[in-house]
Structure formats: structure tokens, C-alpha cells
């Protein structure tokens, strides 16, 4: 869609313009989300993002995940530089069976692959976002070096500059980065990641089926998505992991490597939300160093 000069445009007007349909009632949800009813009886979710490239990154990520044929994501009805319109997913409750299936589906998503570590989705920008934090999708062929240079250290530097992480604490995180080649486990091919897989971005549909929303999609290490699920919790997490490992066994020692993969989201949260997450990041860094 073409950009328009519509700073005061509401979600309903954006939905009408992007979908080409007349709209009815609009119901604000949480944050920047608004549910809008279309004239054909369907409801869509309309999301506003003012950060440059944020909508483009999310739309490209949703299409890339959908293109794997492995996981369920809301259909993208349209987008422009400010607005994203997707299907509305009626929510339900997970079950042991649906959680196990989600694990299998997540394994299939990862196996669908990516060209390189850090590769953005086709049509997605290099300068993307994870939540409200900028995230650069710079590519690399070696995961330990790429992960240190483009996922851990940029957020560590920001946290130190903001006074959220102390210099002595930063030194422990830097030591983990230096040791990543020995700590990272066996080499893995680039996986197609959701990239921001905390439980709030996993919706359970009316039949208990898992739907993925709000991706920060890129090529990465498959254990990173699993580590984020473990970090922030997920209903029936053990069943999700059992389903995943039944479809795609993980290399020995993956549980011990979880701390390495959690450094990235914890430092992102430290930059966004402050000291509490910084302390968690330092704690998992020291845990990794103790191996």
C-alpha cells in the first residue's frame, strides 16, 4: 500500500482503506490493537506502529512464518508504513494434545530454514524490531560470532550506557561472548525463528490450536526460540518440549545452553524495562560461565 499523510486517522478508517471494505464497530484491545468489524461479518485486528519499518517487519515476518506451512499465523489483509491489518483469532484454551502438536509444528518451522543467521524475512527490513526495541538483521555464517556481535553486545552496550548494567557486570557478559565457540554446542544450520516467542505471542485458538503473532522473525539458532519459551513460561511447556523433541531431537546439553540463548531477550528487556532484567541477564551469564 502507498503511504498516506494520515497522522490522525483511526483504526477503523485504516481498516476500510487497506481492506477496501466498509467497516462497522471498532473495539480497542490492549496497547495499539483495535478490533474492527467489516461489512461482510468478519472481524480483523488493526495495529498501529509509528516506528519506521516496524509494520513492514512484522508483516514480512508473518508471511515468512506462514510460508513454512508449519505453523498457524493470522492472515495479513494489508499493511502500510503505519498500519497492519490481520485476521482476528478467537481464543480458547490449550490442552496437552494441542501443546504437543505445537511443539511438533515449531520444530517443522525451524526446519524450514533460513539463508543465513540474521537473515530477514523476504521483503523485511534490515532495521527491524523485537517488541519496542530496534533489532538489526545483519547476516553471518558462524552462529557464535553472529550471536555475540548482533544479538548480545549491542543491547549490552545500550544497557551500560543507560546505567542499567554496571561495567563489572558487563565484563561477565563479554566473557560469555568470548567463550561462545566452546559453549554453543554442535553447529546447527540457520533455523526460521519466530524470534520473540514468549507466551504472550502464542495464542490458543478455540480448538486449542496454537497461533503465533507479533514475530521478530529472522534466521537464527532453533534453541533461541525454545529458550524464550522457557524464560517467560508457556502453558503445558513440558508437553510443547516433548512434542518438539519427538519431531526434532535436540543436541545433548541443550538445557545447559538455555542460559546462553536467554541473554539476548533479557538484555533487550533490560534496555526497555530496567534493572530487574539486567540482574537476570548477569545471573544467566554467570551461570553460563560456571559450566
Pair (280, 154) in one structural domain: yes
Neighbours of 153 (CB within 10 A): 16
User: Averaged over 231-244, what is the pLDDT?
Assistant: 95
Identify the pLDDT of residue 9. Answer: 61
According to DSSP H, which parts of 207-274 are helical?
222-232, 237-247, 254-273
Q: Is residue 131 part of a domain?
A: yes
Pair (221, 194) in one structural domain: yes
Is the pLDDT higher at 208 or at 47?
47
Secondary-structure percent of the chain, ordered helix, strand, coil, rounded to 5: 45, 20, 35
Pair (174, 256) in one structural domain: yes
User: Averaged over 215-222, what is the pLDDT?
Assistant: 98
pLDDT digits 0-9 by tens, 177-212: 999 999 999 999 999 999 999 999 999 998 889 999
Q: Is residue 3 part of a domain?
A: no
Confidence of residue 50 (pLDDT cuts 50, 70, 90): confident
Q: For residues 210 and 163, what is the distance between their CA atoms, to the nearest angstrom?
A: 39
Residue that terminates a domain, selected from 31, 61, 87: 87
Of the chain, the percentage scoring pLDDT greater than 70 comes to 97
Which single residue is written with the C-alpha cell 518440549?
241
Which single residue is written with the C-alpha cell 554453543?
184
* Confidence check: pLDDT of 5 > 70: no
Q: For residues 151 and 219, what is the distance between their CA atoms, to the nearest angstrom?
A: 12
* Confidence check: pLDDT of 102 > 70: yes
* Confidence check: pLDDT of 6 > 50: no
> How many domains, in total, are found in the chain?
2
pLDDT digits 0-9 by tens, 114-148: 999 999 999 999 999 999 999 999 999 999 999 99
Q: Which CATH number covers residue 247?
A: 3.90.1200.10
- Reference 44, options 74, 4, 82; nearest CA is 74
**Half-sphere exposure for 97 (CA within 13 Å, toward CB):** 3
Range of the domain at 274: 96-289
CB within 8 Å of 273: residues ≥ 6 apart: none
In this predicted structure, which of 37-41, 126-130, 237-241 has the lowest mean pLDDT?
37-41
Residue that terminates a domain, selected from 87, 115, 150: 87
Residue that terminates a domain, selected from 69, 87, 105: 87
* Confidence check: pLDDT of 157 > 70: yes
Q: For residues 59 and 123, what is the distance between their CA atoms, to the nearest angstrom?
A: 9
Of the chain, the percentage scoring pLDDT greater than 90 comes to 87
Catalytically annotated residue among 79, 105, 196, 214: 196
User: Averaged over 110-115, what is the pLDDT?
Assistant: 98
Pair (127, 240) in one structural domain: yes
Pair (46, 157) in one structural domain: no
Catalytic annotation present for 225: no
Pair (223, 82) in one structural domain: no
Identify the pLDDT of residue 1. Answer: 36
According to DSSP H, which parts of the chain are helical?
11-19, 54-67, 96-111, 143-147, 153-161, 167-183, 222-232, 237-247, 254-273, 275-289
User: Averaged over 84-107, what is the pLDDT?
Assistant: 96
pTM listed for this prediction: 0.93
Identify the pLDDT of residue 207. Answer: 83
Identify the pLDDT of residue 153. Answer: 98
Q: Look at the chain and count its residues.
A: 291
Q: Is residue 5 part of a domain?
A: no
Q: Which CATH number covers residue 69?
A: 3.30.200.20
pLDDT digits 0-9 by tens, 69-94: 999 999 999 999 999 999 999 989 99
Pair (80, 172) in one structural domain: no
Amino acid at each position: 500500500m502507498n503511504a498516506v499523510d494520515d497522522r490522525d486517522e483511526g483504526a477503523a478508517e485504516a481498516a476500510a482503506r487497506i481492506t477496501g471494505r466498509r467497516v462497522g464497530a471498532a473495539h480497542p484491545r490492549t496497547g495499539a490493537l483495535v478490533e474492527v468489524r467489516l461489512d461482510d461479518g468478519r472481524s480483523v485486528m488493526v495495529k498501529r506502529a509509528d516506528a519506521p519499518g516496524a509494520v513492514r517487519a512484522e508483516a514480512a515476518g508473518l508471511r515468512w512464518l506462514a510460508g513454512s506451512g508449519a505453523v498457524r499465523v493470522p492472515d495479513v489483509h494489508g499493511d502500510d508504513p503505519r498500519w497492519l491489518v490481520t485476521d482476528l483469532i478467537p481464543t480458547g484454551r490449550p490442552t496437552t494434545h494441542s501443546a504437543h502438536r505445537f511443539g511438533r509444528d515449531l520444530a517443522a518451522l525451524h526446519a524450514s530454514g533460513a539463508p543465513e543467521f540474521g537473515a530477514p524475512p523476504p521483503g523485511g527490513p534490515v532495521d527491524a524490531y523485537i517488541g519496542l526495541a530496534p533489532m538489526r538483521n545483519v547476516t553471518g555464517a558462524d552462529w557464535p560470532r553472529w550471536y555475540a556481535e548482533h544479538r548480545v553486545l549491542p543491547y549490552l552496550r545500550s544497557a551500560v550506557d543507560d546505567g542499567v548494567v554496571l561495567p563489572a557486570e558487563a565484563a561477565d557478559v563479554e566473557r560469555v561472548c568470548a567463550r561462545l565457540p566452546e559453549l554453543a554446542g554442535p553447529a546447527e544450520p540457520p533455523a526460521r525463528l519466530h524470534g520473540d516467542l514468549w507466551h504472550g505471542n502464542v495464542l490458543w485458538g478455540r480448538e486449542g490450536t496454537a497461533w503465533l503473532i507479533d514475530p521478530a522473525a529472522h534466521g537464527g539458532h532453533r534453541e533461541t526460540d525454545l529458550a524464550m519459551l522457557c524464560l517467560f513460561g508457556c502453558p503445558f511447556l513440558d508437553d510443547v518440549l516433548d512434542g518438539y523433541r519427538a519431531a526434532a531431537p535436540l543436541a545433548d546439553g541443550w538445557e545447559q545452553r538455555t542460559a546462553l540463548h536467554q541473554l539476548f531477550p533479557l538484555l533487550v528487556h533490560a534496555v526497555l524495562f530496567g534493572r530487574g532484567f539486567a540482574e537476570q541477564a548477569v545471573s544467566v551469564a554467570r551461570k553460563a560461565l560456571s559450566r
